[in-house]
Structures are given as C-alpha cells and as structure tokens.
Structure 1
Amino acid sequence: MAALGIVLSFIPLNIGSSFSISLGQIPLIVFALRRGVKAGMAAGLVWGLLHFVTGMAYFLTPVQVVLEYPIADTCLGLAGVYALKLQNGLIQRNRRQATIAAIQGVFLGTFARYVFHFIAGWIFWGAYALWGMKPWLFSLVMNGISGLATALASLIAVLILLKISHIFQPK
C-alpha cells in the first residue's frame, strides 16, 4: 500500500509551492481502516520513508524532514482507530455505522498528519510565507486547505470503495 501511495503521489496536484492534494494518502487510509492502527502506522512510516528513496522529500532541516515525512505519515495510520467500528458495522450490515466509521477514520488520519505539516510550516517554512502573513497563520491556512482537500479526496475514494467493493469486508 505504501508503494501504491508513492505511485499516486507522482500525480501532480500541486498549486504553487504551498498547496497540494495528496492522492498518495488514499491507499494508506484504506489500509488503516482495513487492518487497524498498528498496521496502518507501519504502512504510513514506510510511505514516509519512500519519499526519500524517490526524491520526493522537500528537505530544509533534519528536524523538519523527520516531522513532515516519517512522523506525519506514520500518524496517518491513526485512521485505523475506526477499523473495528467499520468492521462491526459491516458484519451487522449496518451501512450507516460503517460509513460513519470510515468518515471518522479519514478525518482523524488526515488531521493527525496535517498537524505535523502545520507545525513544520510554522516553524521551518515560515520565512516563505506569502502576502506578508504571519508564519503560523500562513501555515494554518495553506496546510488547512491542503489537508481539507486531501481529506475530501480520500473520503470520496473510501466511500466509493465502501459502496462498490468488498475491500472492507471482515477478515
């Protein structure tokens, strides 16, 4: 799933240097919702490390690069907190419960990931803030918009998969 995430990361959805939609997170969210927190965080860590191997990591300082790749991407696996709730909803044929769990998982994983992007944006990328904005506000706005757009793209994909496939069926 981490390799699939990297492949999807090559699809350019960047607008300027500060806004992007990360399609690579979709398979990681699906994996975390299917396999749980531990497996989801392990896959997120691998995905974060693959950014270095593929030359996709933006390096400013060692602390920044660790925050934005291994740590942020590992936290994406927190979507798996809702794996059991989703699985139980499917077992009980309760589509509403499964859908709510999927939505909660997508937003928790994305939020956890983008908290670290916000921190790195504020502390390390603040000197590049546009329009004279304060670094924390610029990071909040740009990472907030990117995080929300990425969450929506992930949510659409997860809900489509939930509707049309058996990918989330219990083991």
Structure 2
Amino acid sequence: MKDNFFCVVSPNAITVTIEKENNYKCSTYLDVLSQAISKEYKDFLEIQDIIEQGYDVDFWTTIRNDKIERIKKILLVREQIEEAVISFNNNMFDKIKEYLIFSVSPYHLKYKRFAKSFKQFENSRTLPLNVRNMITYLKEQVQVIENILTAEDYDVLIKNFNRYVYLKKQIE
C-alpha cells in the first residue's frame, strides 16, 4: 500500500496523500534522496583521501565538513518522509479498519446467533445440503468477522473482507 502514496515536500512540512495530482510518489523521493546520499558520500570519501594525502588540508576540510552537513540534511529529510509515510499508512489502516468494523459488526452477532441456533443440527445428515452449507457459511462468516476485528495489517484485513463479501452473498 505504501508504494501508492504521493508526497508533497516543502521546507516546512511533508504531506502524504493518495492523490496523484501534481505529486511524486513518496518512494521516488526516497530513491532520489538515497542516490543523493550515495553521491555525497562518494564525494566525501574522495575529499577525505585528499585530506589524508596532505593537500591544502584547511580548504578540503571545509569542503568535507560541508559534505557532512549536506548528508545530514538529506538524511533528515529522508527520515521525515519515511516517518510521514508510516504515520499516514497507520492512520489510513486504522480508518479503513474502523469503517469495515462499523460495516460488519451488525452481522457478527446476527450470524453468531444463527449459527448457534443451528448447532444441534450441524452434523445431521437429514438436513438438506443447502441448509448444511448455510450453517457452514454462517460459522465461517463469524470467524471471518472476528479476523477483521482483530486484523493488524492490510493483508489480513483485505483478505478477510473479500471473504466476508463472498460469504455474505452466499448467505443472503
């Protein structure tokens, strides 16, 4: 999911969004910043070699220190983007889960009661196949809803919600 987020990076703030409108992917910013860090670090190593050889040490030490400061600034921006993406991702997950819980909760007790009322018949061979299937669907749906309620990541949440939708169609 994180790979589909877009960033607006300004000197004072980093905004993460799912809207593409005139924004770059956050992952693009992170890639470019990583490349910049790598380039600055290579320059730093070359400058360090020059200093160690004793050529114009004061001049090159100043340049080296500037490189160190640039690397620190780039690292800081990269960390801020990463933190903003993580925060946005967590908030979005919480909102999606909250909405799904709101959507499925009314059915949780309903299906649980139905499944419980049929419990005495669930192993009965005299029940028609469609009724036995319905009992199985109800039991599975209760478990799927419980999985949604306790989901900790997108994969579990989406997988179980898709299963919920399928089972709901079978039940109704």
Q: Under a length normalisation based on structure 2, what TM-score does the superposition of the two structures give?
A: 0.32
Please identify the structure whose Cα radius of gyration is greater: 2
Q: Under a length normalisation based on structure 1, what TM-score does the superposition of the two structures give?
A: 0.32
- Give the structure, 1 or 2, with the largest relative contact order (CA under 8 Å, sep 6 or more): 1
